[in-house]
Amino acid sequence: MNDHPYSFGRNGAVSTVETRNRVLRNTYWLLALSMIPTVLGAWVGVATGFSLFAATSPGMSMLAFFAIAFGFMFAIQKTKDSAIGVVVLLGFTFFMGLMLSRILSFVLGFSNGPSLIMLAFGGTGVIFASMATIATVSKRDFSGLGKWLFMGVVVLLLASVANVFLHLPALMLTVSVMAIVIFSAYMLFDVQRVVNGGETNYITATLAIYLDLYNVFVNLLALLGIFGGNRN
């Protein structure tokens, strides 16, 4: 998993304390910067009614999304040691912002939609702050979580693909809850990799943590929309 080109930014070698601190600092700065194209992409998507291959089947739309997303991640892995890697990463976050527009438009259809979005954003921030703090101050080694979390992601992907065709509300809720738990744990895992020197590249570190945040936010927002949305 560490050397695979589709390892979602989870690779690297052990580093010195100085390098770890620099990578962590740069990762947090780039992570904050990545929010700008994400918000911009989401705004463009909502304003234009963007929908990836809307005229095709949901299955084809999902395949298109995975093809584009994995293409971006492969390009990030190939350019991670240059400034181009930052540009590619920001391009990826813009694309992911576009992909947020569908659920954002759905939630904005509620009278309390904006407050639900802010609540999901705040909840994601609290989860990240908690996981990052634990990863930084805890003496416990969480590296053993990696293989179990990866297996969990595989199960989530399979369940998500299945539900595209089955349309089972119970399965959708289960997937959302599992995703929040799994990617919250991934925040802990990914931040500690940087803190302990297991990740030496801030671009791929940012990619991994960004995906964690994105998935927690999306699934938290979905649950809030289902259980807390008020129709006009």
10-57 confidence digits (pLDDT tens): 554 445 778 788 999 999 999 999 999 999 999 999 998 877 655 556
State phi, psi for 4 to the nearest 5 degrees. Answer: -75, 140
Which pLDDT band holds residue 6 (cuts at 50, 70, 90)? very low
Q: Strand, coil or helix: what is 16?
A: coil
The residue ranking higher by pLDDT, 42 or 197, is: 42
Beta-bridge partner residues of 20: none
Q: Which amino acid is at 131?
A: M
Residue 125 has pLDDT above 60, yes or no: yes
In this structure, are residues 205 and 23 in contact, taking their beta carbons and an 8 Å threshold? yes
Structure tokens at 118: 């802010």
Candidates 230, 225, 186, 229; CA nearest to 209 is 186
Structure tokens at 229: 């949305």
In this structure, are residues 89 and 174 in contact, taking their beta carbons and an 8 Å threshold? no
Which pLDDT band holds residue 173 (cuts at 50, 70, 90)? very high
In this structure, are residues 232 and 111 in contact, taking their beta carbons and an 8 Å threshold? yes
Candidates 119, 107, 114, 101; CA nearest to 222 is 107
Candidates 31, 5, 1, 26; CA nearest to 210 is 31
Residue 5 has pLDDT above 50, yes or no: no
Question: Considering the chain, what is the average pLDDT of its residues?
Answer: 87
Report how far residue 42's alpha carbon sits from residue 46's, in angstroms, rounded to the nearest whole number. Answer: 6
Residue 8 has pLDDT above 90, yes or no: no
Sign of the alpha-carbon torsion through 56, 60, 64, 65: positive
State phi, psi for 55 to the nearest 5 degrees. Answer: -80, -10
Question: What is the 3-state composition of the chain as percent helix, strand, coil, each rounded to the nearest 5?
Answer: 80, 0, 20
The residue ranking higher by pLDDT, 96 or 165, is: 96
Q: Which amino acid is at 54?
A: A
State phi, psi for 97 to the nearest 5 degrees. Answer: -65, -45
Tokens 């990240």 sit at which residue? 128
Structure tokens at 175: 């997937």
pTM score, whole prediction: 0.88
Q: Which amino acid is at 44?
A: V
Structure tokens at 14: 């052990």
Q: Which amino acid is at 113?
A: G
Strands (E), 112-211: none
